Structure 1
Amino acid sequence: MDVVVTGGTGRLGRVLVPSLQAAGHQVRQVSRRGTGPGGVRADLATGRDLATAVRGAEVVVHAATDPRGNPWQVDVAGTRRLVQALDRDRLRHLVHVSIVGVDRVPWNYYRAKFAAEQVALASGLPVTIVRITQWHDFVDDMLGTARRGPVLIVPMGWSAAPVDVGEAAGFLTEVVAGAPSGGEVVEFGGPEDLSAADLAHAWVAAREPSVRVVATPLPGRLSAAFREGGVLPGPQAARGRVTYAEHLRS
């Protein structure tokens, strides 16, 4: 099929595009710069070149996001611009990539991601919402940022189920080939639910063995949501196989 991937040069897009190509699809990767093989330039924040970039698409995997900028402009308004630009007579499937917990965690970025889901669902297009847990690399980055000299401080009671980005790309490739789920949300997560302390101890042992891990309680609604398993996939979620420990060894 003719597949468009928004956010094609992002962490997921760089792995997803070759996975889709290996499955036999013709793939256009859309980004603001339009770089890379099959790269097409378009800007979700303004709508510039968007209609041209997605013209004739049979499937769109919407993976573009802006967690460090303005997600309400890129994720929410950008999703609205995207669904308006699509050819409704040709489109078979819109796969909207989101994050596990956007409906439970009171964080501005997650609220924007959840609002973007509602835009996709309200479009009347054949949609599948796929929520995925955090990448292994993202956990690495967060732990590296939290380190303060010889000490790594992590929130007490927080838990996550980090996932291998390659396995997530493989799962999305399967979703592309399937029928749209309509209003049913599909989840994909890593094989293990781990506490922040467990993740930190594994990371320290592999990367910084002289660092000491300290778990400390954090107040507030955001912390409570993480303690209550807000970013853990549900019992019906599909799970990957690559553990965080295996990621660290590789």
Structure 2
Amino acid sequence: MCALQRLVRGTALPRRCASPTVLHRRYRRAVERVNRVSRNGERRYSSIVPVPASDSPTSRGRRPVRPSGDDRELAILTTAERLLAERPLSAISVDDLARGAGISRPTFYFYFASKDAVLLTLLDRVVAEADAATTDAFGGRASGPREGWRRAITAYYETFRAHRALTLAWAEARSTNAEIRQLWAQVFEGWVLRCAEAIESERQRGAAPAGPPARDIAVALTSMNERVLYATFTGDGPAIAETGAVDVLLEIWLRAIYGTAPSD
């Protein structure tokens, strides 16, 4: 009993579908630690603005509290995502990233080899976020296929919508950066495998009819998601409105897998 079958029957998905990427655990620990003490209590790392050492609170007779190495890394990542919302990576310099993080240019190179390395790390982090959200969606209780697939598509949609500036930056970088292209291919393969497993599961339990190979359907549907959401978030070419994107994608997924759009 696999992915969607567990979702439909209300049982939890086992944690055997690991993320295909090499996750940056140091960054996640830093984010969790800083988020716990952030003023507004938000959990997203992009909402955190690290405090430079010169502005840190002090106690009488004590030295100022200086940011840790993890905090500096987080500051660089936060600055990069903020600046990418304003202009493309090509218009952002290492000096811009260092200045926004409250560090010197030489210090920047202690943490990252280049701007592309920052972008690669951001991609790794957001993919981990999307994987976690999708796993939660597949592991929750659902009344039927429609609700189950809606949860999975919505988790993917909401994660990348929250990082739309990065979505555009990654798409542009994939044509010139082999590492980003390779990482995205690994990520895409992981999503395809998970979807193919769910489709096969639905066929085996008699909920979905036989048809083209489950992997081929998964490749087509996942590729569609990628292109549709990219156009929706960036306005590149004909695009579906954000308010209707999940509904349209869901209907196509259900009809491709089940032949009709089943109701729960």
- Structure with higher strand content: 1
- Structure with higher helix content: 2
Q: Same fold (TM over 0.5)?
A: no
> TM-score normalized by structure 1?
0.31
Higher relative contact order (CA 8 A, sep 6+): 2
> TM-score normalized by structure 2?
0.30
